[in-house]
Each structure stands twice: as structure tokens, then as C-alpha cells.
Amino acid sequence: MITLVSSSPRRKKLMESVFGEIEIVHPKVNELVIDSEPPREMVKRLAIAKAHVVKSADTIVAADTTVEIDGKILGKPRDVEEAREMLKTLSGRWHTVHTGVCIIRGKKEKVFVESTRVKFYDLDEETINMYIQTGSPMDKAGAYGIQEDMGMILVERIDGDFFTVVGLPISKVWWEIKNMAAKS
């Protein structure tokens, strides 16, 4: 059985849609940003830390996602005002979503980062306020989820894998687990 180390309902849904029944472990990992740490290194470090929370399982999958704009990391907003500021910052601009993944199967460990560029429409106050009222921005890096509520209307275009933006590049996860199993 596959163990997903994540509190994200979106990751759980993606994993179940591909792998069927999975075990969920909610990680207790300090997700603080280290000063001057590049975003790609941060999501890789956190995915590894989460994966190592589980001591034994057939296959362990853990991930972490962040949003980067102008070299700045946008994690989950602390409050509504921070969510509003993040959405204003992203409005009309390109940014990059990085998702780090760590897969452990037996003694093998595979770690990778997928990055996808995203461009927002120019957001007006009404749209930002309506989206914030859904409550969705509060548990997502960059204060938005491309796949649900009004989050899907914020995005003008993407360059890369849609599921990386959701929080788990599920097709790459499938192929990496398949490759690891073949080499067992």
C-alpha cells in the first residue's frame, strides 16, 4: 500500500484517483522558510522531511508546494489580509509554482521538483474579495487553488503541468513509482 504524507485533500484525491486506496499520514514538520533558501530547494527539503516522518511502509509519497514571484516565496497566507496582498501581487503577472516530491520505496529514494509557470488575469477588487470569501485561499501556497471554487477563474494561462500547480505532479509520481517497482 502507498502512504501519502500530506494534509492536503487535493493530493489525497489525486493519489486515490490513480492508485486507489492509500494510507494518509499527516506530517508534523516545521515548514518555516530558511533565509535566502531558493524555492526549489525549500520544497525539496520539506518533501524529504515529510517523507521521513513515516518509518516503514511499502511506498511513501510526500510533497510540498510553493509559489515564487520575483524571487520571493509565497507560502500559505497567515490571514485574510495577507491572502489579499498575495492575490494583488500575482494579479496580471507570471509566477512559478514549484512542487517538490520525495518517494521512498524500500531502500530507494527518489526526489524531484517540478515547476510550472502561471499567469493571472488582472484581478479587480470585487474578484479578489469574492474569492477570499470562499475561504479557499487560506490553506494554499500563494493564496489560490487553480482547481476549485473561484480559483479556476484567476488563471489566464499556464506553461507546464497543471497538476504541479494543484500540488502533486501525479503523472510523474506514477512513472517514478512504476520505475522503482520494476527495479525492486
Please state, in angstroms and rounded to a whole number, the distance separating the CA atoms of residues 176 and 139. 27
Please state, in angstroms and rounded to a whole number, the distance separating the CA atoms of residues 33 and 1. 32
- Active-site hit among 58, 64, 122, 149: 64
CA angle 56, 10, 43 (to 5 degrees): 65
Q: Tell me, yes or no, if 64 is annotated catalytic.
A: yes
For 62, other C-beta atoms within 10 Å of its C-beta total: 28
Active site (catalytic) residues: 64
